């Protein structure tokens, strides 16, 4: 046989390449963005509880739940909140869409609600329209405790009501929301009058601030021409000395606005709401008129970033957005800060979120029981009975350990024997007493236990 040429050899037995088994490259896990956070399962109960309280309050005062999109045209916020504000000039997440339109992640909820009121012809509905919302807001602020770049607000708006009692009722609602959560608040109130009042006042204020320019912090010096009202809110001790002597907006109110503010305060007195008149409270956004207010935790020092919520009247907002002149008023409450307070109290044993009287764990043993459990769980759910279960856990011991961990009041156990005779066990977890009942009567038996617990 002729010897194979080199080339032929290559064809027959190609050189074996050393096979190096490549480990799949492990991805570096992405992290949440700075100032943004996950809401974790251990906090889920706190968030739900707070939202339940919000739901209760809004139902009691007859507000309807609404939602608006998270992304809007950027100009919606620029025109209403104001170009000179930090929110719009520094903190808004704005971007250009593929078609060139300028969009923004909403930094707050009120402007969107006013837009929605106009777009959807809510003016034709019986007035006022009382709406509440909840959802994430975005501001690219410098993150720190209680200050996030994505945070959540619960807000209430009354559109189409010019009466001072509406402002007072919103303040009461906010105050009671915190009170229902065991948080005592200080309510600061002020009036910033009409845009005309504010213009006249600003001339006076800017003149004063210019005369004290050398005593102001650098940041405030820059603000004299851009956003002088914001200086009133400065927490810099140097600025505060100047602000203490500054002209106060309350002295520049027109007669109507003064009378209006007096009425708001009278209603608050009627309702025994403790409030503090705060001449430097202006809330900075362009759309506010007349009443402005803020809530602070009464048991914590007031810092610039510690307000729990705030609001005010915004009689010019709907008109600014091209609608009919429509009086309106509202508030927004920061939920993240409330969660932080409640979490601390829960962990310190100073606050308990009440669990339902009856908490059931459904346990099974063996494959046939697992299948039957699927049916029984559905049937109980149809009867309004909620259960915890881990159908993926085969061991009865592990399931009952879990029942203990979640502090179930009762375990419902479907074992092999019960499968055979069509029964099921209800075990009282604290006494250990077990009752065997007919599977068909399970829902009825649970309702009976529930009734007895309520007694």
Q: Is residue 180 at the binding interface for ligand AMP, with CB under 6 A as the rule?
A: no
Q: Is residue 307 at the binding interface for ligand AMP, with CB under 6 A as the rule?
A: yes
At a CB cut-off of 8 Å and minimum separation 6, what does 168 contact? 264, 267, 268, 270, 271, 273
290 phi-psi bin (left φ>0, alpha ψ -120 to 50, beta other): left
- Distance from chain centroid for Cα 169: 21
Instruction: Give the nearest distance from C-beta 382 to ligand AMP in angstroms.
Output: 41
Instruction: Give the nearest distance from C-beta 315 to ligand AMP in angstroms.
Output: 17
Nearer to ligand AMP, 111 or 380 (CB): 111
Q: For the chain, give me the number of helices (H) and strands (E)?
A: 17, 16
Of 86-125, binders to ligand AMP (CB under 6 A) are 108
Instruction: Give the nearest distance from C-beta 404 to ligand AMP in angstroms.
Output: 37
Backbone angles phi, psi at 361, to 5 degrees: -120, 130
Instruction: Give the nearest distance from C-beta 226 to ligand AMP in angstroms.
Output: 18
Instruction: Give the nearest distance from C-beta 117 to ligand AMP in angstroms.
Output: 18
> Which span (18-26, 50-58, 143-151, 431-439) binds ligand AMP, by CB under 6 A?
143-151
Verify cis geometry, omega within 30 degrees of 0, for the bond prior to 353: no
Near ligand AMP by CB under 6 A: residue from 117, 134, 148, 252: 148
CA distance 317 to 326: 8
In the complex, residue closest to ligand AMP by CB: 334
For the record, the structure tokens of 3 come out as 């010897």
Instruction: Give the nearest distance from C-beta 179 to ligand AMP in angstroms.
Output: 16
DSSP per-residue string spanning 296-354: EETTS---TT---EEEEE-TTHHHHTTS----EEEEEEEHHHHHHHHHHHHHTTS---P
CA distance 82 to 80: 5
Nearer to ligand AMP, 229 or 369 (CB): 229
CA distance 250 to 241: 19
**3-state DSSP call for residue 155?**
strand
Instruction: Give the nearest distance from C-beta 91 to ligand AMP in angstroms.
Output: 8
Would strands 289-297 and 309-313 be described as parallel, antiparallel, or unpaired?
antiparallel
Instruction: Give the nearest distance from C-beta 220 to ligand AMP in angstroms.
Output: 19
Near ligand AMP by CB under 6 A: residue from 86, 161, 167, 336: 336
Strands (E), 254-409: 275-277, 289-297, 309-313, 328-334, 360-364, 387-389
Near ligand AMP by CB under 6 A: residue from 115, 139, 313, 427: 139
Nearer to ligand AMP, 164 or 174 (CB): 174
Nearer to ligand AMP, 110 or 194 (CB): 110
Number of Cβ atoms within 10 Å of the Cβ of 333: 24
At a CB cut-off of 8 Å and minimum separation 6, what does 13 contact? none
Nearer to ligand AMP, 232 or 413 (CB): 232
Near ligand AMP by CB under 6 A: residue from 43, 72, 73, 141: 141
Of 310-329, binders to ligand AMP (CB under 6 A) are 310
Q: Is residue 161 at the binding interface for ligand AMP, with CB under 6 A as the rule?
A: no
Interface with ligand AMP (CB under 6 A): 108, 139, 141, 146-148, 151, 153, 307-310, 332, 334, 336-337
């Amino acid at each position: 046989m002729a010897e194979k040429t080199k080339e032929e050899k290559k064809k027959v037995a190609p050189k074996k390449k050393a096979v190096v088994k490549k480990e799949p490259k492990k991805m570096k896990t992405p992290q949440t963005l700075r100032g943004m956070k996950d809401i974790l399962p251990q906090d889920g109960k706190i968030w739900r509880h707070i939202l339940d309280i919000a739901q209760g309050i809004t139902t009691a005062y007859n507000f309807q739940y609404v939602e608006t999109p998270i992304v809007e045209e950027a100009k919606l916020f620029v025109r209403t909140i104001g170009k000179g504000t930090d929110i719009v000039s520094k903190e808004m997440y704005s971007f250009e869409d593929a078609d060139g339109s300028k969009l923004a992640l909403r930094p707050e909820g009120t402007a969107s609600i006013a837009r929605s009121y106009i777009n959807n012809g809510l003016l034709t509905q019986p007035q006022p329209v009382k709406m509440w919302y909840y959802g994430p807001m975005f501001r690219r602020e410098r993150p720190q405790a209680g200050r996030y770049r994505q945070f959540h607000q619960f807000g209430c708006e009354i559109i189409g009501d010019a009466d001072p009692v509406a402002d007072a009722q919103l303040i009461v609602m906010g105050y009671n929301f915190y009170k229902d959560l065991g948080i005592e608040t200080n309510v600061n109130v002020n009036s910033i009058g009409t845009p005309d009042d504010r213009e006249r006042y600003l001339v006076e204020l800017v003149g004063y601030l210019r005369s004290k320019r050398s005593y102001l912090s650098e940041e405030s010096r820059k603000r004299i021409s851009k956003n002088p009202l914001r200086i009133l809110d400065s927490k810099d001790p140097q600025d505060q000395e100047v602000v203490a002597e500054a002209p106060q907006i309350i002295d520049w109110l027109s007669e109507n606005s003064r009378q209006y503010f007096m009425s708001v305060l009278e209603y608050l007195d009627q309702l025994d709401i403790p409030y503090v008149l705060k001449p430097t409270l202006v809330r900075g956004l362009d759309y506010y008129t007349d009443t402005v207010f803020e809530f602070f935790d009464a048991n914590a020092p007031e810092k610039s970033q510690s307000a729990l919520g705030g609001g005010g009247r915004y009689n010019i907002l709907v008109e600014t957005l091209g609608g009919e002149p429509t009086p309106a008023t509202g508030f927004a409450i920061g939920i993240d800060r409330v969660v932080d307070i409640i979490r601390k109290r829960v962990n310190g044993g100073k606050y308990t979120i009440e669990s339902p009287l009856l908490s059931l764990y459904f346990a099974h043993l063996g494959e046939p029981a697992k299948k039957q459990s699927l049916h029984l769980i559905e049937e109980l759910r149809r009867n309004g009975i909620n259960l915890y279960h881990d159908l993926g856990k085969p061991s009865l011991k592990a399931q009952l350990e879990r029942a203990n961990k979640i502090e179930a009041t009762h375990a419902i156990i479907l074992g092999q024997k019960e499968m055979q005779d069509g029964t099921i066990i209800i075990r009282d977890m604290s006494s250990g007493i077990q009752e065997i009942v007919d599977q068909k009567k399970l829902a009825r038996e649970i309702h009976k236990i529930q009734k007895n617990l309520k007694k």
